[in-house]
Amino acid sequence: MATTNTYLNFNGDCEQAFNFYKSVFGGEFAYIGRFGDMPPSDEYTMPESDNNKIMHVSLPIGTSVLMGSDTGGDWAPSFVQGNNFSVSVTAESKEEADIIFNGLAEGGKITMPLENTFWGDYFGMLTDKFGINWMMSFNEDNKEK
């Protein structure tokens, strides 16, 4: 069966963001590559100033993978960071939800505090310090599913 992963695009601070996410979720990068690692191309000459920017990074989190790249600047002139998606995280416990939510909220803005909702989830939303939108959810009834 197909799976989905969230891919985040940044404008030069991908490595800083992913080190932050690694500090919140734990684990190690499955892959991290820089534009300077790319083989030469006749079609495009990489500016030397972009050599250390992230071409691709992946961070396994549970059964999914958070992926990212520095694709702003010359790579995407119409790039607008973090306003067109949210990453939804389903925690295994209320305590885990609190830890992750509070970690991601550090330096960011909580748009809906974690609280029990009418649909039965312990749920909250925030925008982290990198402009990425997150939704945190835990449902006691679904924890064994």
CATH code of the domain containing 31: 3.30.720.100
Tell me: the pLDDT tens digits for 33-59? 998 888 887 777 778 888 899 989 999
pLDDT at 40: 80
Give the structural domain span for 134.
85-145
Number of compact structural domains in the chain: 2
**Mean pLDDT score of the chain:** 86
The widest CA-to-CA distance across the chain, in whole angstroms, is 57
Q: Is residue 37 part of a domain?
A: yes
| For residues 57-67, average pLDDT | 94
d(CA 52, CA 133) in angstroms, rounded, equals: 26
pLDDT at 145: 40
Q: Is residue 80 part of a domain?
A: no
| For residues 103-129, average pLDDT | 94
Q: Is residue 122 part of a domain?
A: yes
d(CA 91, CA 75) in angstroms, rounded, equals: 35
| For residues 14-29, average pLDDT | 97
pLDDT at 142: 66
Q: Is residue 111 part of a domain?
A: yes
Q: Is residue 42 part of a domain?
A: yes
Residues 58 and 127 in one domain: no
- Percent above pLDDT 70 for the chain: 87
Residues 54 and 6 in one domain: yes
Name the residue among 101, 97, 100, 105 with its Cα closest to residue 142: 97
The answer to whether the pTM exceeds 0.85 is no
CB 132 within 8 A of CB 87: yes
10 band by pLDDT with thresholds 50, 70 and 90: confident
Q: How far is CA 48 from the centre of its chain?
A: 26
Tell me: the pLDDT tens digits for 83-99? 557 798 999 999 999 99
